[in-house]
Amino acid sequence: MTDKDEREFKSAAKFVRKHWKMTLAMALGVVLAVIVGAYVFFWYAALAQATTLVPTTIGAWSVAHFFAFCINLLIWELIFVATWLIPFFIIVFVLWWRKLTPEEQKEYQGGRRRRTASEGGGCSFIIAVFWLIIVWIQGKWTLPLNSWTFNDWIITWLTAFLWGLVPIAIIALIFLAYAFTRKD
């Protein structure tokens, strides 16, 4: 553990000791949200199968089924979880923040944080979007996944990866053009 990590750990421990009621309230809110979110997920999964929005066997699912399921699940989670969770956290946080002294507020305000190498830069998201576009263009959007061959799966992901390299190549070419045309 580095000195910086140790200082951050001690700071967090000090925060929890000093504001244990706030920490407990937020932790209970998160636990309640997870429980309600899980309940909504299981309820919707059963409902989606009962209403035949999705097949009951995973092999019969297509990408279209997956998308329909996820979008509808997101809407139900927003309705049943986010509508009370977000206002709860905002109200509790604002009430707590107002009770702090200006010195404490300044101490707890987060500064600009540097990204580390382990944090994603969005590449996997871009590749996944390209994969979905390729699946749609190839006409496999509604094709059940159990009819895909392993080669289909690999080729679509490899193609998506290569298309994901295109924006990086464009940026690199612009940088190289700038570097070579720049007069020092």
Residues 113-154: tens digit of each pLDDT: 555 545 556 778 888 899 999 999 999 998 888 888 878 888
Whether 93 and 167 share a structural domain: no
Query: In this predicted structure, what is the pLDDT of residue 114?
Result: 56
Q: Which residue has the tokens 């399921």?
A: 69
Whether 11 and 94 share a structural domain: yes
HSE-up (13 A, CA, CB side) for residue 133: 11
The CA dihedral of 152, 153, 158, 159, to the nearest 10 degrees, is 50
Average pLDDT over residues 166-174: 84
Whether 162 and 73 share a structural domain: no
Query: In this predicted structure, what is the pLDDT of residue 116?
Result: 57
Percent of the chain whose predicted confidence (pLDDT) is above 70: 92
Query: In this predicted structure, what is the pLDDT of residue 93?
Result: 85
Query: In this predicted structure, what is the pLDDT of residue 113?
Result: 56
Whether 134 and 163 share a structural domain: yes
Which among 120, 116, 121 is positioned nearest to 5, based on CA atoms?
Answer: 116
Whether 103 and 146 share a structural domain: no
Given 96, 111, 126, the domain boundary residue is 111
Whether 97 and 146 share a structural domain: no
Which among 91, 85, 110 is positioned nearest to 15, based on CA atoms?
Answer: 110
Range of the domain at 184: 118-184
Query: In this predicted structure, what is the pLDDT of residue 132?
Result: 93
Whether 37 and 82 share a structural domain: yes
Whether 100 and 133 share a structural domain: no
Average pLDDT over residues 89-100: 87
Given 55, 84, 111, the domain boundary residue is 111
Whether 173 and 123 share a structural domain: yes
Average pLDDT over residues 32-54: 90
CA 10 vs CA 18, 97, 108, 115, 169: distances in Å: 12, 21, 13, 22, 44
Whether 104 and 166 share a structural domain: no
Given 54, 85, 111, the domain boundary residue is 111
> Of 1-5, 42-46, 70-74, 103-107, which gets the smallest average pLDDT?
1-5
Handedness of CA 68, 70, 75, 79 (dihedral sign): positive
Whether 104 and 123 share a structural domain: no
Whether 131 and 96 share a structural domain: no
pLDDT digits (tens, 9 = 90+) for 54-73: 888 878 889 999 899 999 99
CA 177 vs CA 163, 166, 170, 173: distances in Å: 22, 16, 10, 6
**DSSP class of 116:** P
Residues 6+ positions from 59 with CB-CB distance below 8 Å: 144, 145, 146
Question: What domain count does the chain have?
Answer: 2
